[in-house]
Amino acid sequence: MATQNTPYIERSPGDLVTSEDWNEVQVKIKDDISSQAGKVEKALEEHAGEPVDAAKFGGKAPAEWAEQFAPRVHDHEGMAAYRRYFKRLKIEQPALLEHKLGRFPLVDIYQLMPIPVTAAQEVGKPAATPTFVKFFLYYGHEDLEALLPKAMNEYPELIREWGVPLEQILQEYEVVWEDDDSLGDVFNDFLSAFFKPPLVDHMEHKTSPWIDGHREKTVSELKQRDEWPDIRWGFIPVRLTVGSEGFRVECPSNAGTTTVTCKIAPAVNVYHLNYDKLAIIPGDLGDENVPGGKTPVPRRSIDLMILLRS
C-alpha cells in the first residue's frame, strides 16, 4: 500500500490519466483502509485481556506523582483546619483536647456567659427570678423582647442579630431531617448530636415558650408560615485573655453597702503537648456572686468555647 510519500499510481506532469487509473486508485484506497482497520482490531484483541487500573496514570498512583513532583520544602501554611469545643473547665481538673491537626494550632478561648431567661410575668405578681442557661433556643424578636427585656432595652440592634439559625447549625452538626418531621423531633436529634463528648460537655439549656408551643408543628408548616428561618440557637461567648493571671478590684457587694475584693479576669492557660494534643489548665477562675448579698465565693468551674485553627 502507499505511504505518506508514495502515490498509489505514480504519474509525471503531462501524463494522461485514464479511467483504468482512476478505478485502480479507488480499489487501492479501499484496500489500504481495510488493512489499517485490521491492524487496530488486532491490537485491541491483544490488549483486551490486560487489567486496567483506573486509579493510575502512566503506571503511577496520584500519591507517587505527588511525591515525585511536589515541593520537598516544609510548608508551614498547610491545609487550613478548624475545631470548636464547648467545655466545662473545673478547678484543678485540666481538659485534654485531642485535635489531631498535626501541628500547633492557634487557640482562642471564650467564656460562655450566662443567659438570664426571664419567665413571663403574671399580672399582679412579682417578677420571676431569671433562669440562667448557656444555650437557648428561641423564635424571633418577639421572644427576645419578652425573655431578655434588659438586653433588648440596652443593646437592641446587637441583640436582634444574636443567635445562629437552627437550620445552619443542624447542617454544621450533620443532623438529617425531613420537611414532614416535627420541630420537637428535629430539636431532640440536634441535642443528641450537639452534646456529644469530647467536643461538647453537657451544659444548661432551655427553649422559649414559643418553641414549646410549636413542637408538634412540622418543618414544612413552619416554612409555609415563614417562621423556620427565625428559629435560633443562642449562646454568648466573650473572649478571654489566654494565660492571664487576672486581677482583683474592689467591687460592691450584692447588698450594695460594702465593697469586697473580687476577681474579674479569670486565668486560663493553654499548653501544647504535641502536634495532636493540647491541655487547657485553669488558673484562678475568679469569683462568682452569691444570692442574698453575701460575699462572692471563688468560682469552681468555668464554661468555655475553645476555637482551634491551623
Residues 172 and 95 in one domain: no
* Predicted local confidence at residue 91, as pLDDT: 84
Phi, psi of 15 (to 5 degrees): -70, 150
3-state secondary structure of 67: helix
* Predicted local confidence at residue 63, as pLDDT: 64
Of the residues 206, 234, 262, the one at which a domain ends: 234
How far apart are the C-alpha atoms of 64 and 124, rounded to whole Å? 78
Query: What domain range includes position 100?
Result: 80-112+239-310
Residues 184 and 203 in one domain: yes
Residues 228 and 247 in one domain: no
Q: What is the mean pLDDT of the chain?
A: 78
* Predicted local confidence at residue 294, as pLDDT: 61
**Stronger pLDDT, 58 or 123, i.e. the higher one:** 58
Q: Give me 50's grid cell.
A: 490486560
Longest CA pairwise span in the chain (Å): 128
* Predicted local confidence at residue 123, as pLDDT: 46
Torsion angle defined by CA atoms of residues 91, 93, 97 and 98, in that order, rounded to the nearest 10 degrees: 180
| Number of domains, the chain | 2
Q: Is the pLDDT of residue 6 over 60?
A: yes
pLDDT in tens, 133-191: 999 999 987 777 777 777 778 878 877 888 999 999 999 999 999 999 999 999 999 99
**Stronger pLDDT, 134 or 240, i.e. the higher one:** 134
Of the residues 183, 209, 234, the one at which a domain ends: 234
Prediction pTM value:
0.64
In a domain, residue 292? The reply is yes
* Predicted local confidence at residue 300, as pLDDT: 84
How far apart are the C-alpha atoms of 156 and 137, rounded to whole Å? 19
3-state secondary structure of 269: strand
Burial class (CB within 10 angstroms; exposed 0-12, middle 13-18, buried 19+) of 189:
middle
Residues 146 and 292 in one domain: no
Residues 104 and 88 in one domain: yes
Residues 159 and 206 in one domain: yes
Q: Is the pLDDT of residue 301 over 90?
A: no
Residues 174 and 219 in one domain: yes
* Predicted local confidence at residue 154, as pLDDT: 81
User: Residue 244 — pLDDT band, cuts 50, 70, 90?
Assistant: very low
In a domain, residue 310? The reply is yes
Residues 208 and 285 in one domain: no
Place of cell 434588659: 150
* Predicted local confidence at residue 247, as pLDDT: 47
**Stronger pLDDT, 30 or 253, i.e. the higher one:** 30
In a domain, residue 130? The reply is no
User: Residue 286 — pLDDT band, cuts 50, 70, 90?
Assistant: confident
Residues 159 and 304 in one domain: no
How far apart are the C-alpha atoms of 197 and 216, rounded to whole Å? 29
* Predicted local confidence at residue 66, as pLDDT: 58
The residue-averaged pLDDT of 244-273 equals 60
pLDDT in tens, 11-40: 777 666 677 766 776 777 777 777 776 776
In a domain, residue 284? The reply is yes
In a domain, residue 54? The reply is no
In a domain, residue 151? The reply is yes
The residue-averaged pLDDT of 203-221 equals 94
Q: Give me 137's grid cell.
A: 433556643
Residues 191 and 208 in one domain: yes
Residues 157 and 196 in one domain: yes
Of the residues 234, 265, 295, the one at which a domain ends: 234
Torsion angle defined by CA atoms of residues 84, 87, 93 and 95, in that order, rounded to the nearest 10 degrees: -20
**Stronger pLDDT, 15 or 291, i.e. the higher one:** 15
How far apart are the C-alpha atoms of 75 and 111, rounded to whole Å? 33
Residues 230 and 243 in one domain: no
262 and 249 Cβ atoms separated by less than 8 Å? yes
In a domain, residue 74? The reply is no
Q: Where are the beta strands (DSSP E) in 144-230?
A: 164-165, 205-207
pLDDT in tens, 92-138: 888 999 999 999 999 999 988 888 887 654 445 555 677 889 999 99
In a domain, residue 89? The reply is yes
With a pLDDT cut of 90, the percent of the chain lying above it is: 35
